[in-house]
Amino acid sequence: MKSLLVKVCSINREKNLFKISQLDVDMIGLNFYLDSKRYINNISININSNINRVGVFVDPTEAELNQYISDAKLDYLQLHGSESPEFCKAMSSKCSIIKAFGVDADFDFSMTSDYEFVDYFLFDTKTILHGGSGKKFNWQKLKEYKGETPFLLAGGIGPEDADKLLEIDHPKFAGVDINSRFEIEPGIKHVGNVDEFIKRLKN
């Protein structure tokens, strides 16, 4: 069985960020969406160099992204809004792209086809909050995805879900994005729970 990528999203405290980066994490999400309660503001980003830095945004401008790519040394842009294929294509020449889609029972996966050039899709539970809802969508829905772009799964994943995730049989399932179900409070993750979850998922 292939090893799944693990992305830990939306940490906004320096000490917690450093501790999480000592674990077997592949990506860490830095939330630059101003309206989020997990917004990261004026902290030193101290992350191990082998971990990819993912900037999380909702309908940003190209100028904003260019600034963040430079200032935060981002490896990926995770775009959670209504960013057009043309906008994502333009940014893909400057940074790797994760395009997020909110999934519910009525979601049509064919709408992802215009974004097939991005590096990953992120399938999250549809919510007005653009993520971080702590709620799952029905993972059986993933069987409807027939695209070629690998995807990360998000939305309500908790410490108890490692075994269920390993049962997902989809050729493009690349990894998971964990957030609110691992929190002590918004922006602060429980290091022990994250560590145990990763060990169960990867070992």
> Annotated active-site positions, please?
9, 124
Cβ contacts of 34 within 8 Å, gap of 6 or more = none
Going from the C-alpha of 174 to that of each of 3, 84, 99, 151, the distances in angstroms are: 8, 23, 14, 5
CA distance 175 to 7: 8
Q: Strands 76-79, 96-103: parallel, antiparallel or unpaired by DSSP? A: parallel
CA distance 151 to 11: 22
Residue 60, both tokens: 């940003």
Q: Which residue, 110, 22, 23, 95, is CA-closest to 57? A: 95
